[in-house]
Each structure stands twice: as structure tokens, then as C-alpha cells.
Amino acid sequence: MSFNNHQIKKFSRQLILKDFGEEKQNLILKSHITFVGMGGINIPALLYLLAIGLNKLTIVDYDKVQLSNLNRQIIYSVKDVGKYKVRCVSNYLKKNYPDVNFLSLNKEINKNNCSKILKKTDIVIDGTDNWDSMLTINENCVKKNIPLLSASVLGYDGNLTLFKNNKKKHICLECIFPNPKKIELPRCETAGILGTTSGIIGTLAAVKAIEYLTNNKNSSKSTKMIFFNGKKIELKSIKINNNPKCRLIK
Ligand SMILES: [Zn+2]
């Protein structure tokens, strides 16, 4: 695909980058990303990926904007409080990215609809803070070999893992957290969250998505969980091994 003058100017600063260029730009333009949860992680991820050239996407959320979301969910304003998040993001997309091809789903992802929602996508970014949803998304991505970026934030800290879900080697969210019992995750509304922590993890999710989508040949690299410590301002990563007892191993 050749670029028109508008695209050449718009993406000029990344097109001239060593090791980026037209080939990788094309891969980004062709890729489809599904963002589950339009909250503190996926809003910055979405904004950066759009700016960089994402052209096809699905957004999923069932919540309405609350005033307390605004310290980190930077696409919304006070005028949006009480409105459905997907409606606000859809309006933003129509106004600022009229050529972007997007599907907006105002629903909660669950066991019944997950398979259909994640049908056509190159990668899923899970920014939900609900353990049931995270497990459902994980299971579907494993079954369909869809790469899953799983991220969470709380307080000053956050973490991010890309589960590649390729056929060669199984490593998934349940390998790390095999407890099938219902877990009540600590939530931002009770434990608090510094807005910038969401920004860091959301932006890292965008970086990781770009790296994956433009470097498919390297998909056999090891799986690492990245930790951000927002008090020490430190990033660390640890290698994750698969759990041979994981119930999702095919
Ligand atoms: Zn597993």
C-alpha cells in the first residue's frame, strides 16, 4: 500500500525512524485492535494508537462516565458525566478520526458474547478491572490463538503482560493465577489510583501492541510481565513460565 501526501506528512516523524518505515506503518494501518474497557488503561492506549495510525478497532464497555473517572480517563470531560463511555468515545472518533473504521459495543463482555466480540481482531487489550471478565477474555484468546495484552493498575503501580497465545507454547493469565475461585480484585474506587499510573501502563500497552504487530517474526520471544513502581519510578520485568497444570492447555 502506498501512502497519500496527507499520510506521509502525518506520519513523517515515525516514517523516518530507523527500523520503522513504510512497512511497519502499513502493518499498523492494517491491524485491528479490540479494546475491552474504556477506562484508565485503554483510553491512553487508544489515543496513542490512533495518533500512530491505527485504522481498525473495536471498543467495548458498558459503564457510564463518573466524575471520579476524570483524574485518569483523559478523553472524557465534566460534560460527559452520566453518558455511556462508548458513546463518548464514538463521538470523539467521528469528530477527530472520521476515516477510522470502528465498531462500538455498549455491553459487558461475558461467556455468552465474548467469542463473537473477539472474532476478528489481531490483538486484544484488556483494560477491565473485573476478574470474571479477565478470565473469560483470557480463555477465549487462548482458544482462538488471539494475542492478549493484559494490564492492571492500582494505587501508584501497574503491570502489563503480552500473552502471545501462539500454538507453539502455552502461557496464559491462568498459568500465573490458577485459582479458580472468584477473586475480588482490589479496585481503584476503594484503594485509589494516581491518574498518571494509568497513563504509563496504557502507553506501555500501546508500545507493546505496536512492537507485537510490527514484529511478528519475533513472536517466539519469552513472555514477560512488566511492573511499574510509581513511587520509585522504576520499571522491572520478570520472565513468566507456563504452568503445566493449567486447565487451558490444549
Ligand atoms: Zn495457562
The pLDDT tens digits for 85-100 are 999 999 999 999 999 9
What is the distance in A from the centroid of ligand 1 to the CA of 47?
Answer: 31
Q: Mind spelling out the 3-state secondary structure of 147-188? A: CEEEEEEEECEEEEEEECCCCCCCCCHHHHCCCCCCCCCCCH
Does residue 182 surpass a pLDDT of 90?
A: no
* pLDDT value of position 211: 94
What is the distance in A from the centroid of ligand 1 to the CA of 3?
Answer: 41
Is residue 152 in some structural domain?
yes
List the one residue out of 188, 189, 163, 147 whose CA is nearest residue 246.
Answer: 163
Mean pLDDT, all residues of the chain: 93
Q: Residue 229 gets which letter from DSSP? A: E
List the one residue out of 144, 129, 150, 134 whose CA is nearest residue 63.
Answer: 129
Does residue 180 surpass a pLDDT of 80?
A: no
Number of domains in the chain: 1
- What is the arithmetic mean of pLDDT over 3-13? 93
What is the distance in A from the centroid of ligand 1 to the CA of 244?
Answer: 8
At 225, which amino acid appears?
M
At residue 114's C-alpha, the angle toward residues 24 and 170, to 5°, is 65
Is residue 106 in some structural domain?
no
Q: Could you tell me which residues come within 8 angstroms of residue 5 by beta carbon, excluding any fewer than 6 positions away?
A: none
Is residue 14 in some structural domain?
no
26: alpha, beta or left? (left if phi > 0; alpha if psi -120 to 50): alpha
At 35, which amino acid appears?
F
Is residue 4 in some structural domain?
no
What is the distance in A from the centroid of ligand 1 to the CA of 204?
Answer: 23
Is residue 138 in some structural domain?
yes
At 44, which amino acid appears?
P
Task: Pick 190 or 44 by higher pLDDT.
Answer: 44
pLDDT digits (tens, 9 = 90+) for 122-164: 999 999 988 899 999 999 999 999 999 999 999 999 999 999 9
What is the distance in A from the centroid of ligand 1 to the CA of 242?
Answer: 6
What is the distance in A from the centroid of ligand 1 to the CA of 112?
Answer: 21
pTM of this prediction?
0.95
Is residue 13 in some structural domain?
no
Task: Pick 186 or 218 by higher pLDDT.
Answer: 186
With cut-offs at 50, 70 and 90, classify the pLDDT of residue 218. Answer: low
CATH code for the domain of 130: 3.40.50.720
What is the distance in A from the centroid of ligand 1 to the CA of 26?
Answer: 32
Does residue 68 surpass a pLDDT of 90?
A: yes
| 207: containing domain | 22-96+114-240
Is residue 102 in some structural domain?
no
Is residue 226 in some structural domain?
yes
* pLDDT value of position 18: 92
